[in-house]
Structure formats: structure tokens, C-alpha cells
Amino acid sequence: MIYLNGKFMPIEEACIPVLDRGFIFGDGIYEVIPAYSRKPFRLPKHLNRLQHSLDGIRLKNPFSNDEWKNLLEQVIAKSDAEDQYLYLHITRGVAKRDHAFPVNVPPTVFIMSNPLLPPPAELLASGASAITAIDNRWIRCDVKAISLLPNVLLRQLAVDVHALETILIRDGFLTEGAASNIFVVKNGVLLAPPKSNLMLPGITYDVVLELAAANKIPHEIREITEAEVRTADEILLTSSTKEIMPIASLDNQPVGQGKPGPLFARLHALYQDYKA
Ligand code: PDD
């Protein structure tokens, strides 16, 4: 069952008018929230980021955090899987096509849940492959906007060559992945690009940095050059749906030893404990 504008219904019955501004302009934002054993993971952080995205597009939050929590719990209860990921989507509603914001139009609110499967064990054991590309997105990548055409095109570059992700470089520096955050390990130090308008402030990114701090893993938040990405000992990818994954090849070259490294193993184990 999905939630759409105040009602629960099977997804096959859910319909959006063609004049919805999400459809016409990509005028909306979204969130992806994992739920382990039917409990939303880091819900207050996700709701904070939802508010940041809404503020970024000047759209009023239709619900209080308690109302969101209640709705999400209902969606979780109506879904079969123990581990799920919730997709929340809010658009500026339905109005005659005009770029200017419509007045007094209710937003469209959609929530669905899908089973959350851990990344395949073989991929965690062997490491995934990634490619690089120039980050050609807009400069409000901190807003989780539904207008994802650049991300879609960038991710497809990876899919075309059977790689998992496209790692983005802007003006010679690492930003993030097409749908993930990226960390680099160099000489035993975990390096993370600083949050800015050029990347999505990942909730999993925060978890990894907190785990590093709590477990005395050397880490540094600073700009990472393209050259540092190319000569990394390890590259790690994080997202709510992929958790933490090792990248073992980049642009067809091995990363470090060409297999998952010790910091990946450590952080992956810590993450599994933390989410349990
Ligand atoms: N994407 N950067 C981008 C561009 C992303 O799309 C995502 C997540 C992340 C990681 O953020 P988090 O750890 O909060 O999931 C970083 C989601 C999963 C998606 O679009 O499906």
C-alpha cells in the first residue's frame, strides 16, 4: 500500500494528474529513509534534511515531524518486508502550466515502501567498479530535488559499462557519486569531502564519520583532488540503500590492491552493528 494525498491505496490505483508540477517541471523534492526491523533509521536526521530541501525550493512542509513519523509508521505496517526503504515525494501540486509558483495549491504528497536488500555478498567481497565523470549538475546539489535528469544520465554512463556508480569531479575536486557519497582512504586516513552546496549531505555519510570518530579511525574532512581519488588506497561509497560499499576499480584501473581494503572491512562491520 502506498500513501497519496491523505489516502492509502495499492500502487496500481495511485494516479497523478498530468498537470502536477512534479511531472511538468520536476518541481519537488524527495527523501529515501531506510527502516530496519520496521524502525525508520535516523528519522529525525532525514526529516531535518527534508525540511532543508523544502526550504531550498520554498515549499511549506505539509506535516509536522510527528505527523510524518505517524504516516511513515502506517506505511511500514502495511508493507511486508522487515527491512524496507521509504520513498517520500512532495511536489508543488497541480496547477495550470506556468513557471511561477501557483497560489493556494496543496502539495502532492506520495510515500511508498520497497523491500531493502543488502548489497550482494559477492560485490562486498570483490568490490564494485566505478567510473568518473565531470559533475555537470546544478549548484544546489544539497537539495534532494526530484529533477534528477543529470544524475540519471551520469549513472547511466556507469551502467553502460557494467559499473556500479559514476564518481563526480567538479573543477578538479571530488563531489560525490551520481546517487551516493564517496570517501577516499589514503595512508590509513579516511578522507571525506566537506558538505557544501555541491553535494547531498548524506545521512549514511554522517554515520560513517561518527563511527570513525567513535572508533578512533583517523579521518579528515577536506577537499579531495581528482589525483587523490585516482591514487586512493581505498574508495568507499555510501547511501541509504547501499549502506557502505567498496569500490575496487575506477575507470578500469585497480583501486589500491584492486580489492576491498581494511578500512572498508572495519567500517562495514561497525555499520552492521550500529544499524542492528
Ligand atoms: N540517494 N548523494 C546523492 C546524489 C544521492 O542521491 C544519495 C542518496 C546520497 C546518499 O545519501 P544518503 O546516505 O542520505 O542516502 C548522496 C538515494 C538513496 C536515492 O536517490 O535513491
Fold of the domain built from segment(s) 121-275: D-amino Acid Aminotransferase; Chain A, domain 2 (3.20.10)
Q: Which of 41, 180, 205, 211 to mutate to test the pocket of ligand 1 (most atoms within 8 A of CB)?
A: 180
The rounded distance, in Å, linking the Cα atoms of 154 and 110 is: 26
CA of 179 to the centre of ligand 1 (A): 5
Place of cell 512532495: 90
Q: State whether CATH 3.10.20.30 applies to domain 2-115.
A: no
What pLDDT sits at residue 180?
98
Per-residue confidence band for 134, with pLDDT thresholds at 50, 70 and 90: very high
**Ligand 1, atom 11: closest residue by C-alpha:** 202
CA of 94 to the centre of ligand 1 (A): 27
Q: Which of 181, 204, 237 to mutate to test the pocket of ligand 1 (most atoms within 8 A of CB)?
A: 181
What pLDDT sits at residue 237?
98
How does the average pLDDT of the chain come out, rounded? 98
Q: Is 202 in the pocket of ligand 1 (CB under 6 A)?
A: yes
CA of 98 to the centre of ligand 1 (A): 30
Q: Is 175 in the pocket of ligand 1 (CB under 6 A)?
A: no
CB 195 within 8 A of CB 208: no
CB 222 within 8 A of CB 234: no
13: which strand partners? none
CB 62 within 8 A of CB 98: no
CA of 199 to the centre of ligand 1 (A): 10
Per-residue confidence band for 167, with pLDDT thresholds at 50, 70 and 90: very high
Which residues of the chain does CATH 3.30.470.10 include? 2-115
Q: Is 113 in the pocket of ligand 1 (CB under 6 A)?
A: no
Q: Which of 112, 198, 200 to mutate to test the pocket of ligand 1 (most atoms within 8 A of CB)?
A: 200
Q: Is 180 in the pocket of ligand 1 (CB under 6 A)?
A: yes
Q: Is 179 in the pocket of ligand 1 (CB under 6 A)?
A: yes
Buried b (16+ CB within 10 A) or exposed e, 144-175: bbbbbeebeebbeebeeeebbbbbbbbeebbb
Average pLDDT value for residue range 43-58: 98
Average pLDDT value for residue range 139-157: 98
What pLDDT sits at residue 42?
98
Predicted-complex ipTM score? 0.99
Per-residue confidence band for 263, with pLDDT thresholds at 50, 70 and 90: very high
Active-site residue set: 144
Average pLDDT value for residue range 49-73: 98
Per-residue confidence band for 141, with pLDDT thresholds at 50, 70 and 90: very high
HSE (side-chain half, CA atoms, 13 Å) at 123: 18
Which residues of the chain does CATH 3.20.10.10 include? 121-275
Q: Is 145 in the pocket of ligand 1 (CB under 6 A)?
A: no
